[in-house]
Amino acid sequence: MKLEVTILGSSSATPVYNRNPTSQLLNCNEKFYLIDCGEGTQQQLIRFGFKANKIDYIFISHLHGDHYFGLIGLLSSLHLNGRIKPIKIFAPNALQEILALQFKHSETFLRYPIEFTAIEATESVLIYENADVKVETVVLNHRIPCTGFKFSQKPRMRKLIVEKLEEDNIGIEYYPLLKRGADLNLPGGKIILNKDYTTDPTLPKVYAYCSDTLFEGRYFASIQNCDLLYHEATFLHEMLDRANQTHHTTALQAAQVALITNAKKLLIGHFSSRYKALLPLLEEAKTVFQNTELALEGITYEI
Ligand SMILES: [Zn+2]
Ligand SMILES: [Zn+2]
């Protein structure tokens, strides 16, 4: 089952050097989850060949503009383009008020319903699940309430060795039981052992998204053992004082988070406008955690 993330925006506060404010598109089994929606997100979707109408879930980490100023535009375009199916939004409660005010004064009456779930940045909780994935919040420490999101794939069913099943004339009516891991007791007394006719499913993967935060231990427990950890890395470590003042993280600290939480791979982003070249941030992170990559716009990272 597919789990991959495409970076739509990798910049922090302002768009600069062709980099856009934060947004990511997670594809889980061909369902699309938008994570943050900075200004320019809908143009980025078009640029990289994604249909905005395929997005059914939007997660907003916090109400700094670089994480949601693209939302009203995106929601309006979906309306103008004839969307009728609902969209789920998970965000701080105040966003409802902000959206309502913007729609009120533009006399916009959406054709599709918004199903809004208010998020509180107090404790890590499950906010959504379906057959493919469950989503939990990660409580971060930023200047205003802020949560990251952890997407965990649901365990998959066992894989059938179809040629062998056909060879031994085992009817397809037994396939669902075998997929679930059961042994079979066929009429006539023949025993079919599951392990002879199935193989292990691919392991479920975990993706965690940590947007703006101060480096501190409180959220580490909720992001243990991720297959891919996205973590903001706004500054180089020589700017640690600035990072602490603004409740952000340095590239070195992001790498420390990956190391401490036993991530398999780290993706760093939310780059400050002071850095035209990003290689120094990558090199700094790699001194602590080798398997690090830059979150580059338009690139899709398999999880
Ligand atoms: Zn930000
Ligand atoms: Zn912020």
Q: How far is the CA of 140 from the centre of ligand 2 (A)?
A: 11
3 state DSSP class of 252? helix
Say what the pLDDT of residue 188 is.
82
Q: What is the pLDDT of residues 128-143, one digit of tens each?
A: 999 999 999 999 999 9
Average pLDDT value over all residues in the chain: 95
3 state DSSP class of 4? strand
Q: How far is the CA of 79 from the centre of ligand 2 (A)?
A: 28
Mean of pLDDT values over 206-224: 96
Ligand nearest to the backbone CA of 144: 2
142 with 237, same domain: the answer is yes
What amino acid occupies position 68? Answer: Y
Nearest-angstrom CA–CA distance, 204 and 202: 6
Q: What one-character DSSP code corresponds to residue 130?
A: -
Mean of pLDDT values over 186-198: 88
- Last-in-domain residue among 145, 176, 199: 199
Q: What is the pLDDT of residues 250-271, one digit of tens each?
A: 999 999 999 999 999 999 999 9
Nearest-angstrom CA–CA distance, 141 and 217: 10
Name residues whose C-beta falls within 8 Å of residue 102's C-beta, 6 or more positions apart in sequence.
Answer: 72, 108
Nearest-angstrom CA–CA distance, 120 and 122: 6
Range name among 119-133, 145-159, 175-189, 260-274 with the lowest pLDDT average? 175-189
Q: How far is the CA of 52 from the centre of ligand 1 (A)?
A: 22
Helix axes 279-286, 251-260, angle to 10 degrees: 40
Q: What is the pLDDT of residues 142-155, one digit of tens each?
A: 999 999 999 999 98
Ligand nearest to the backbone CA of 63: 2
Say what the pLDDT of residue 18 is.
87
* pLDDT(120) > 90: yes
Q: How far is the CA of 129 from the centre of ligand 1 (A)?
A: 26
140 with 165, same domain: the answer is no
218 with 181, same domain: the answer is no
167 with 297, same domain: the answer is no
Nearest-angstrom CA–CA distance, 231 and 293: 11
* pLDDT(279) > 90: yes
* Tokens at 33, concatenated: 């989850």
Mean of pLDDT values over 37-47: 97
Q: How far is the CA of 246 from the centre of ligand 2 (A)?
A: 9
- Last-in-domain residue among 175, 199, 223: 199
133 with 190, same domain: the answer is no
Name residues whose C-beta falls within 8 Å of residue 43's C-beta, 6 or more positions apart in sequence.
Answer: none
20 with 117, same domain: the answer is yes
Mean of pLDDT values over 43-58: 97
Question: How many other CB atoms are found less than 10 A from the CB of residue 10?
Answer: 25
User: What distances in angstroms separate CA 152 from CA 118, 169, 204, one per listed residue?
Assistant: 20, 37, 7
CA-wise closest residue to 91 among 50, 147, 11: 147
Say what the pLDDT of residue 1 is.
81
183 with 35, same domain: the answer is no
Nearest-angstrom CA–CA distance, 236 and 251: 6
Nearest-angstrom CA–CA distance, 250 and 122: 24
Which residues are close to ligand 2, an ion, with C-beta < 5 A?
A: 64, 212
Ligand nearest to the backbone CA of 273: 1
Ligand nearest to the backbone CA of 234: 1
Q: How far is the CA of 62 from the centre of ligand 2 (A)?
A: 7
Split at pLDDT 50, 70, 90, the class of 201 is confident
Catalytic residue selected from 36, 66, 212, 227: 66
Q: Give me the residue label for tokens 């392990």.
A: 195
Maximum distance among all Cα pairs of the chain, rounded to whole angstroms? 75
Say what the pLDDT of residue 168 is.
87
Per the confidence metrics, is the pTM higher than 0.85?
Answer: yes
Q: How far is the CA of 244 from the centre of ligand 1 (A)?
A: 14
Split at pLDDT 50, 70, 90, the class of 186 is confident
62 with 139, same domain: the answer is yes
194 with 206, same domain: the answer is no
* pLDDT(170) > 90: no
Say what the pLDDT of residue 8 is.
97
The alpha carbon of residue 203 and the mean position of all alpha carbons in its chain are separated, in whole angstroms, by: 18
109 with 212, same domain: the answer is yes
Q: Environment class of residue 82 by beta-carbon count within 10 Å: exposed (0-12), middle (13-18) or buried (19+)?
A: exposed
Ligand nearest to the backbone CA of 38: 1
Q: What residue numbers bound the domain in which 129 lies?
A: 3-156+202-302
Mean of pLDDT values over 163-168: 90
Total of domains in the chain: 2
66 is catalytic: yes
Range name among 22-26, 98-102, 196-200 with the lowest pLDDT average? 196-200
Q: How far is the CA of 22 from the centre of ligand 2 (A)?
A: 10
Say what the pLDDT of residue 17 is.
82
127 with 34, same domain: the answer is yes
Question: How many other CB atoms are found less than 10 A from the CB of residue 276?
Answer: 9
Mean of pLDDT values over 56-64: 97
Say what the pLDDT of residue 189 is.
84
Report phi then psi at 120, rounded to 5.
-110, 135
Give me the long-range contacts of 167-172 (CB less than 8 A, separation at least 24). 168/197, 170/197
Report phi then psi at 242, rounded to 5.
-65, -40
Q: How far is the CA of 146 from the centre of ligand 2 (A)?
A: 8
187 with 39, same domain: the answer is no
Q: Which CATH number characterizes residue 273's domain?
A: 3.60.15.10
